[in-house]
């Protein structure tokens, strides 16, 4: 029997209603599909673009606008965003809480990014903390984490964890990250974030945040291990660690049906392996051929895997 025949049989038996049968039949025929994830990505990208434009405007035109106008405008934007969220948010719960309104999550993110721009501008203009500017990172991370748990927002949680990484000393820059000290800090931070995520999950405090903790931890650790392949004292040992960690990320992604972790594992492992292979290729033609063949193979492999590892919305 086909899917349509099963649905019709269930409708006739009274298992599902006529409306449910019509909706499921449309899905089976692929007449409709969800674009929820794509719309969310576009809206978040829009908020990030607006915040980036806000930062650029402040940096380029602060002389014309004046310090008082800029600081007041940024503070008003932060206060307005937080007031909007506080007025409409449901009471705090350790369980997952749905967004109060369609715009709720985006307004919250906008307020957090405006707060970051305001702190950057205050330090840029007045240099209140000077050499202790890392205190801004700690304050920002604390605020973002508190807001993420209060308003149940995983995007703000990732923002807070990333900001906290900066306070720990993790810098994703070519001149700083490929040093031994930075690499060790990133590895330690990734392990700490993963441990905290598991601990909070076991306490049943926003247990659905576990995946966000793992996203940040996986990228920090895999990036650190990959950097060891490029600049470490024992590149093959770092490569072995990278392959083990990448395999763990892929296995966990398949187990929980989260394709992003499969991508993390494949991409970081490919970068590390390619670095080691290129060390032993001395002909530009062979090097180009390797990247063409291996790159196509990696893309095809990810595509095939994406058909097997579904996503849960």
**What does the pLDDT read at residue 167?**
86
What rounded mean pLDDT belongs to the chain? 83
- d(Cα 120, Cα 108) in Å, to the nearest integer? 19
User: What stretches of the chain show up as alpha helix (H) in DSSP?
Assistant: 3-12, 18-28, 36-65, 67-88, 104-126, 134-151, 154-168, 174-177, 180-202, 210-231, 235-255, 259-279, 284-308
Q: Which of 219, 138, 136, 240 is nearest to 177 (CA)?
A: 219
Is the pLDDT assigned to residue 98 strictly greater than 90?
no
- d(Cα 241, Cα 249) in Å, to the nearest integer? 12
- Greatest mean pLDDT among 54-63, 64-73, 200-209, 271-280: 200-209
pLDDT, tens digit (0-9, with 9 covering 90-100), for 19-42: 777 766 666 655 544 444 445 555
**What does the pLDDT read at residue 210?**
94
Q: Give just the sign of the alpha carbon dihedral 264, 106, 310, 253.
A: positive
**What does the pLDDT read at residue 196?**
96
Q: Which of 98, 108, 102, 134 is nearest to 47 (CA)?
A: 108
**What does the pLDDT read at residue 88?**
92
What average pLDDT does the segment 234-240 reach?
A: 90
Which residues lie closer than 8 Å to 209 by C-beta, 6 or more apart? 148, 154, 157, 197, 200, 201
What average pLDDT does the segment 228-252 reach?
A: 90
**What does the pLDDT read at residue 36?**
45
Token pair 């590390």 is found at: 272
Task: Tell me if 113 sits within 8 A of 82, measured CB to CB.
Answer: no
Q: Which of 247, 205, 231 is nearest to 92 (CA)?
A: 205
**What does the pLDDT read at residue 173?**
57
pLDDT, tens digit (0-9, with 9 covering 90-100), for 166-186: 888 776 555 555 566 788 888
What average pLDDT does the segment 270-277 reach?
A: 92
Q: Please, how many CA atoms are within 13 Å of residue 81, restricted to the half-sphere of its CB? A: 22
């Amino acid at each position: 029997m086909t899917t349509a025949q099963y649905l019709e049989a269930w409708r006739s038996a009274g298992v599902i209603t006529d409306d449910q049968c019509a909706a499921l039949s449309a899905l089976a025929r692929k007449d409709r599909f969800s674009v929820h994830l794509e719309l969310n990505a576009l809206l978040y990208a829009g908020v990030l673009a607006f915040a980036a434009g806000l930062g650029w405007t402040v940096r380029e035109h602060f002389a014309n606008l004046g310090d008082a106008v800029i600081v007041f405008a940024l503070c008003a934007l932060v206060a307005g965003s937080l007031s909007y969220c506080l007025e409409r948010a449901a009471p705090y719960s350790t369980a997952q809480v749905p967004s109060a309104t369609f715009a709720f999550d985006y307004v919250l993110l906008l307020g957090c990014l405006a707060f970051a721009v305001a702190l950057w501008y205050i330090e840029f203009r007045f240099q209140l903390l000077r050499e202790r500017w890392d205190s801004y990172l700690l304050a920002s991370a604390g605020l973002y984490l508190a807001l993420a748990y209060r308003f149940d927002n995983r995007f703000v949680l990732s923002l807070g964890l990333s900001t906290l990484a900066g306070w720990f000393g993790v810098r994703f820059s070519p001149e700083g990250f490929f040093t031994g000290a930075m690499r060790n800090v990133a590895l330690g931070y990734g392990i700490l974030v993963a441990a905290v995520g598991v601990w909070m999950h076991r306490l049943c405090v926003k247990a659905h945040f576990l995946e966000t903790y793992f996203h940040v931890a996986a990228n920090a650790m895999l990036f650190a291990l990959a950097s060891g392949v490029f600049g470490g004292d024992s590149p093959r040992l770092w490569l072995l660690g990278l392959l083990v960690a990448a395999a763990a990320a892929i296995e966990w992604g398949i187990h929980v049906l989260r394709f992003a972790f499969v991508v993390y594992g494949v991409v970081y492992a490919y970068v590390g392996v390619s670095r080691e292979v290129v060390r032993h290729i001395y002909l530009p033609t062979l090097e180009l051929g390797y990247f063409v063949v291996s790159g196509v193979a990696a893309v095809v492999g990810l595509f095939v895997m994406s058909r097997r590892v579904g996503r849960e919305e």
